[in-house]
Amino acid sequence: MRRVAVVGVGLTKFGENWDHSFRDLITDAGIHALADANMSGADIDALYGGTMAAGRLIGQEHITALIADFMGLNPIPATRVEAACASGGVALRTGYMAVASGIHDHVVVGGVEKMTDVSSGEVASALGGAGDQEWELFMGATFPSLYALMARRHMHEYGTTEEQMAQVAVKNHYNAARNKYAQYQKEITLETVMKSKVISSPLKVFDCSPITDGAAVAILVPLEQARKYTDTPIEIVASAQASDKLSLHSRESITRLDATIIAAKKAYAQAKVEPKDIDVAEVHDCFTIAELMAIEDLGFCRKGEGGKMTAQGETALNAKISVNTSGGLKGCGHPVGATGVKQIAEIVWQLRGQAGDRQVKGAEVGLTHNVGGSGATCVVNILKRAN
């Protein structure tokens, strides 16, 4: 296996981008990533694109052919990857495997979703298809309600409180306020979260990630060639993926995600690091309870102590471990297919020392955690500054 580095990343601003089409978004992010890598389209050998629901949300299938066309990359192989909200993370891992195996040298990985052109109800229905359509969505269980069930059970088993969940939103909005790409660049208080409209009890609007348009792109090359393109290559030292039962009722426990636990264990072994070595992590906080479960399942604290760790401020910027410095899905926004690649961009900026007001001091090891649906897919990547 060859070692793999990220040499360029690019994002669009996340938000309600009514003046940008799906193809505008991914092309913009792609142009930024190529410029960041000092490359042109002619240097690229293959493209992997993650999108979850372009067919449902904008009526467009065959999206990687469209991306290759609009980015001027024809006739390279262009492959779509779909794994619900983990589509971007799985696309990244697929690109990583293509470079590591020696099949391709210069790979562009993109993630994109255009979600705000249809009503919230249509989005909820499209996203709900990432759970068990027959046994969950058809019965009325959309994603907020599935995560509400997990939250209730976590509260019952571990004494987690609504205030502790709300602290995740307060922290992530604080970080998003320092990120020019974020959908919500404003700080909020605990009271804002606690008094916001109930979506599916105990989850309120400010416990939920929003509906977002956006795109993210990363360029991968073999590490041995990386310095041709950048002075600060960031190595992907581990990339692991696992799956789990699709529906909540089939799982042994709904207060942990086994796919996260398994992918994390493999990633730590591959990278030869432990949870305590991670300086900065982008975790999948599609709902505030999801961040609490993620920091537990990734081993940053003991099971059941995610709420306490968050309320004590240990996951804040430059605290014990800086979690979701981009603002996470909650503050930065969650264009579902793009999120996994955006997480990579944030960690690359952190490890290069380019994160501005939200820079984690001396960050050397970063982790990304991208979940599909209610946890049936999980990808964990670990990145380090290359020496």
Catalytic sites, residue numbers: 85, 334
Question: Environment class of residue 74 by beta-carbon count within 10 Å: exposed (0-12), middle (13-18) or buried (19+)?
Answer: exposed
Q: Does 39 bind ligand COA (CB under 6 A)?
A: no
User: Which stretch of DSSP H or E encloses residue 10?
Assistant: strand 4-11
Do residues 332 and 340 touch, judged by C-beta distance below 8 A?
no
The CB density around residue 364, as the number of other CB atoms within 10 Å, is 14
Do residues 237 and 269 touch, judged by C-beta distance below 8 A?
no
Q: Does 194 bind ligand COA (CB under 6 A)?
A: no
Please list, in sequence order, all residues whose beta carbon lies within 8 angstroms of the beta carbon of residue 139, skipping any fewer than 6 positions away: none
Tell me how far, at minimum, the Cβ of 211 lies from ligand COA, in Å.
5
Tell me the β-bridge partners of 90.
none
Please list, in sequence order, all residues whose beta carbon lies within 8 angstroms of the beta carbon of residue 352, skipping any fewer than 6 positions away: 232, 234, 385
String marking each residue 210-229 x if it binds ligand COA according to CB under 6 A: xx------------------
Closest CB to ligand COA among residues 211, 280: 211
Which of the residues 267 through 306 are near ligand COA (CB under 6 A)? 286
Tell me how far, at minimum, the Cβ of 144 lies from ligand COA, in Å.
6
- Which of 57, 98, 208, 221: binder of ligand COA (CB under 6 A)? 208
Interface with ligand COA: number of residues (CB under 6 A): 15
The tally of CA atoms less than 13 A away on the side-chain side of residue 130 is 27
Closest CB to ligand COA among residues 58, 211: 211
Burial 315-329 (b: 16+ CB within 10 A, else e): bbbeeebbbbbbbbb
Q: Does 239 bind ligand COA (CB under 6 A)?
A: no
String marking each residue 84-103 x if it binds ligand COA according to CB under 6 A: -x------------------
Closest CB to ligand COA among residues 251, 384: 251
Q: Does 242 bind ligand COA (CB under 6 A)?
A: no
Which of the residues 119 through 158 are near ligand COA (CB under 6 A)? 120, 124, 127, 143-144
Binding site for ligand COA (CB under 6 A): 85, 120, 124, 127, 143-144, 199, 205-206, 208-211, 286, 334
